[in-house]
Every structure is written in structure tokens, then in C-alpha cells.
Amino acid sequence: MAKLLVIRKINMELKELFLESLGTLALNRMRTGLAALGIIIGIGSVIALISLGQASQKSVQNQIQALGSNLLTIMPGAQRTGNVRSAIGTSTSLTYDDAKAIATSPQITTVKNISPEFSRRAQVVAGRNNTNTQIIGVTPAYAEVRKVNVALGVFITQRNVDALDKVAVLGPQVVSDLFGEGANPLGQSIRIRNQSFRVVGVTVSKGGTGFQNQDDMVFVPLTTAQKIIFGATNVTSISVEAKSAEVMTQAQDEIGYFLLARHHLNDPSQADFSILSQNDILSTASSITSTFTALLSGIAAISLIVGGIGIMNIMLVTVTERTREIGLRKALGAKKKIITTQFLLESIILTGAGGILGMILGIITSLIISHFINLPFTLSLFSIVLAIGVSGVVGILFGWYPANKAANLQPIEALRYE
Amino acid sequence: MSAECLWGIKNFMIKVKHVSKIYRHDSLETVALDDISFAVSQGEFVAIIGPSGSGKSTLMHILGALDTPTSGSYFLDGEDVGRLNDDELADIRNKKIGFVFQAYNLLPRATALKNVTLPMYYAGVPKEERLKRAKEYLEMVGLGDRIDYNPNQLSGGQQQRVAIARALSMQPKIILADEPTGNLATNQSLEIMEIFKKLNEEGHTIVMITHEPNIAQFAKRIISLRDGKIVGDKKN
């Protein structure tokens, strides 16, 4: 019973101290505002930076996944002129018939879809506008393998391929370059190398950036690209979708030996093609990801240090400036514990409120920036906990430390403090 | 203990015995108070005068339990102040001493009322009681109509009257005033001294520092200090 009374008394004292702390903060609006601003900026920048770092990481992962899943890419080997070996992919050793043979061979059991492609850059003209873009001759399988969806109209059909139709499906970037943002180009005609093509479809934006931007392409039937536009007989690559991630290696072997036999070659060292598996891409991706993780940790560490030092400074300055006030309070009979508790409460209220506002500021900042630079918005609980945790501890520690130091002085020394 | 009684500690409000205060800065020693002994009885009004550097402020801070002597002992209302710990000293400053500073030392952004309630807040007086008493004391010093003013909206004399109301708020045994008129114009100084005179007539014990002879004339006893020593002690 007596214990309960003591607890109630402590509760009452804490409540009064809390009100007193709140009152002191409210009375000194300028000082409170500046200290809170320091905390808000500190916490906000940590959250925004970590969030943006994670967003870029996610964006890179998305772009790699957008290339297609369980994907194998068959590239022709290097062209040989005498003993001079050119870059990989320059030879003309792969053909549409290779792709058809792989698709129909009973020996190959692990392939789901196969997409032969012929791609080359060319100038595209529509009315007064023109652009230089990637022209890519495809079969309908391309849409399956590369996960391309059509926003308007239809994709290239097998009939188009068989009939060498002069039709084109445009990426959204090409549409805005040639017809203006958001225009509907269906039925319009465009010219590629002085051949007229009818626009039959527009693909859904993948939001890609950098090389192989899937939004900046013109899709035409494979046969049309080969025979009508570029006068070629080969394909520049064959994309293969394996049935599952587990059979990727098996698919690689099956296709490899099948093509060796088809090209009348004896062993893999003579291969006039190469097969890149998505595992190769994924291993590159995971090294990119680990670089990103290191970069992120660096950003987080630096922003935490900068934010922490900012908060430390503002708390040290605002509380040290109040040494005289602490001296006065002691002279009027305040016990050390009351003073340190009051300043501790003030720091807690300040860093708590500043932390919440900083969190909101950080989230809004990263939302705005990710919107403008076209990044997916991500927010991790970890970054919030880290930012508020570290800043909170720093704020409270450096609010309490100078107050405790001042409360330990003789009142007259604190009163004389300049 | 009986020896202490023979010395008559109980009969005095203040008893200072062989108090010295030496400041040390590196190897340099400054003697601010040099073996001072004196006593003040209940109900006295004492002025301590002396030129600057005579040690009168140092003495005042020791009397106010704001500072500690290097050697010697100081008894306040029968209690050996030198033996008290930090919290007990805080209690003494809170309940037995009302201190009036030359620079008023009010919380700048708090109202007059809030400033006067501060010592009562630290004594744990309930809020309604605090506000009631603070209003009474502010009325007593003639500021009943200014209780919601901040210090920067008040004149120097009015600020010092708030400080006096604050010093009185815990009904202390003794009022210590450190150059209470030092920052004030003559007419305001005289108003403040009238308040001290009236408080003394009501039975308050007052010790005041001043370097102005006309202010010292309000006291009933004048102690003169020079170079840390008492050089004069006469009834007025």
C-alpha cells in the first residue's frame, strides 16, 4: 500500500516534470524550433538516402528480371577473317532454320519457347519526325520469352512472319519520339530504310533505362527484317526460355550439342556460337547487388554520422547555453536529479517529435525524388529504426550530458557561466 | 555540543567562524576571504559594504549556500552548512534562504507569476497553492496587475520586485540580497529599499551587499570589508 503511494507520488512528479519540460520547450519557440529542425533534417536525410539507395538496388534487379526468366541467349561466334578473330556475335553462323530445328527437335526436351531475333539500328521516319532506334525482327515467341505485353493493337503474329508483312509494333519511347507523347499511332505508317510499314501495336512501357531499353525499339516480323530491310539471311541472336530454372544447364548442353551436330562440328572448342545463360547474368547481378549493399551501408553510415553530429551539436549548444538557467534553478532549490530529469525529458520530447517529423520528411523526400528520377519507391522499417534509434540516442545523450555537467557545478559557477 | 551552545550557535541566524576562500588559478592564489568570523541574529538588517574586490560577493555566495568556503565553518539557523550534501544544500537554498540577485536572474521567457512559483515548484507545493501564494506576493510588491507580463515587458525596478516576490515565496528564514539596487535608477532603488525596510519591520532577517552609502543607510548594522577582512562593524 505504502509502495503504491510512493509509485503514485513518483508518477505525479514525473507528470509535473513532463508538463514543466513541455512548457519550457513551448516558451522557447525559436530554440526548440532550431533544435527540432536539426533533428528533423538529420533523421530525414538518413531515411531518404537509405530509401533511395534501396530503390536503385531494386531498380537494377527489376531491369535484370525484365530481360526474361530462365533465359538462354545463343549468340553467333566471332567472325574469322584469316587469323583475325572479331568480337563475339559478329559471325553470320546462326539462322532462323537453326531456331526452327531446335524448336522441333525431339532430342531437346527442356525448351519452352524459342525466339530468333535479328536486330540492328536504323533510322525510322514518320511524317516530319525521325529517330534512330533499334529495329528488331522477331517471331511471336519474342513476346513470351522477353515478357513483352501489348498496350494497344496486337504483337507480331506468325502470319506476319510467314507473309513477310510490312507491319511494325512500336515501343512507347518510339511512339513519343515519332508521334508525340501519348499519341495513338495505330494504322499510321512509318518508314524504315525507305520501306513503308503500318503500325499495328504499341508495347507496354517497362520503364527501362540504359542499354537495351525495351521501350525504345521497333518490332517487325523476323523475315521482313532479314529479307526486306537489311538483306540478311542470318539471325543476330536466339533467345531460349527453358522450362524451369533447374534445367538451365541441361538446356544449355542439349542445345549446344544439337547445334554442334547441325553445324557439322566435332567438339565444343570449335563452336561457332556461344550460349549465355541467365545464371551468367545473375552472377553479374549478384556482384552488382553486393556492390550496392556496400554502397548503401556507406551512405547509411555517413548520413548517420552527419545526422548524429548535427543533432549532437544542436543539443550541446542549446543545453550548454542554458548553463546559467541551470545555475538559477539550483540556486532556487532544484535538486540535481530534478534538473537532469527535466533536461532528459526535454531531450526525449524533442528527439521524439523531431524523429517523427523527420521520418515523414524523409519518406516524402524519397517519394518525390524516386518519382522524378523514375525509381521504384521502397521503404524499409530497418532504415527508420536505425535512423530514429541512433539519432534518438545521440540527441538524448547530448541533451542530458551538458545538463548533467552543469547540474554538477556549484550554483554560482553555473550562474556565472558565459 | 554543549560547547557549541556556549558559543551560542542556536541563538544566531547566521554564524560564520574563521571562513576563508582562496581561488587558485594555476600557481596564482587569490585570497578572497581571509579568516572572517561574525554572527547575525534573528530580525537584523545588515548591510555589507566594501569596494569591489573586497570579497563581499564571495561572502554573499557562501552565505547563500551557492558556493563553499575553502576553510572555516558556516552555520545557518543552527545547521552546519559545510556538512550538507548536494541535495540537502538544495533544500536549504529552497526553504531557508531567499536570494535576490543584482541581475534579477528571472527566467526570461516565463511570466512574472511563473517565475515566482519556481521555488515552490521545487519544494513540491501543489499547483493551486503555488499560484495563490505567487499572486499574493506579487500583490505585496505592488505588481498585482502585472502577473502575466514577461520580464522583458517590465522595468528594472519591476523585475527586481518580481525577484523579491520569488525570494519571499518559500517564507525563508533569511533574505540575502546581492547589490539589489546595483542595476537600478535612484528612484527605483529607493522603492526597492522601502520594500526591504518594510519586510525587516515585519520580522524578516535581511543581509544585503551594497557599495552605495545611501543604500546602506537603510540597514540597522553595517559591516565593512576590505581585502577579504572585516574592517568595521557598527550599529546604524
In a domain, B3, yes or no: no
For residue A118, the enclosing domain spans 92-271
Q: What is the pLDDT of residues B31-62, one digit of tens each?
A: 999 999 999 999 999 999 998 889 999 999 99
- Out of A27, A28, A331, the one facing B93 most closely (by C-beta) is A331
Measured CA to CA, the distance from residue B173 to residue B221 in angstroms comes to 18
What's the domain count of chain A?
Answer: 2
Measured CA to CA, the distance from residue A52 to residue A54 in angstroms comes to 5
In a domain, A76, yes or no: no
Mutation site, A11, A32, A332, interface B, largest B CB count within 10 A: A332
Q: How confident is the model at residue B64 (pLDDT cuts 50, 70, 90)?
A: very high
Alpha helices (H) in A188-277, listed in sequence order: 222-223, 248-262
**Is residue B129 over pLDDT 90?**
yes
Distant-in-sequence, close-in-space partners of B43: CB < 8 Å, separation ≥ 6: B200, B203, B204, B205
Q: What is the pLDDT of residues B131-149, one digit of tens each?
A: 999 999 999 999 999 999 9
Is there a single domain that holds both residue A98 and residue A34?
no
- Out of B61, B110, B124, the one facing A412 most closely (by C-beta) is B61
The verdict on a CB contact (< 8 Å) between A412 and B66 is yes
Is there a single domain that holds both residue A303 and residue A390?
yes
CB B212 within 8 A of CB B116: no
In a domain, B13, yes or no: no
- Out of B67, B86, B124, the one facing A336 most closely (by C-beta) is B86
Q: Which of A239, A271, A303 is the last residue of a domain?
A: A271
**Is residue B4 over pLDDT 70?**
no
Is there a single domain that holds both residue A123 and residue A257?
yes
pTM over 0.80: no
In a domain, B2, yes or no: no
The pLDDT of residue B62: 95
The verdict on a CB contact (< 8 Å) between A333 and B105 is no
In a domain, B206, yes or no: yes
What's the domain count of chain B?
Answer: 1
For residue B189, the enclosing domain spans 43-69+82-235
Is there a single domain that holds both residue A119 and residue A244?
yes
Q: Which of A214, A244, A271 is the last residue of a domain?
A: A271
Is there a single domain that holds both residue A405 and residue A374?
yes
Low-confidence ranges of chain A (pLDDT < 70): 1-10, 12, 65-69, 78-91, 207-212, 278-279, 282
The pLDDT of residue A370: 84
Is there a single domain that holds both residue A145 and residue A236?
yes
Q: Enumerate residues 166 to 185 of chain B having a beta carbon within 8 A of any beta carbon in chain A.
A: 166, 170
Residues of A in contact with B99 (CB under 8 A): 331-332
Measured CA to CA, the distance from residue A256 to residue A108 in angstroms comes to 10
Q: In terms of Cα–Cα distance, which of B220, B180, B231 is closest to B50?
A: B231
The pLDDT of residue A280: 72
In a domain, A48, yes or no: yes
| Residue in chain A lying closest to B107 (CA) | A325
The pLDDT of residue B6: 44
Residues of B in contact with A337 (CB under 8 A): 87
The pLDDT of residue A86: 56
What is the average per-residue pLDDT within B4-12? Answer: 55
Q: In terms of Cα–Cα distance, which of B123, B43, B60 is closest to B134?
A: B123
Is there a single domain that holds both residue A298 and residue A263?
no
In a domain, A71, yes or no: no
In a domain, A8, yes or no: no
CB B192 within 8 A of CB B160: yes
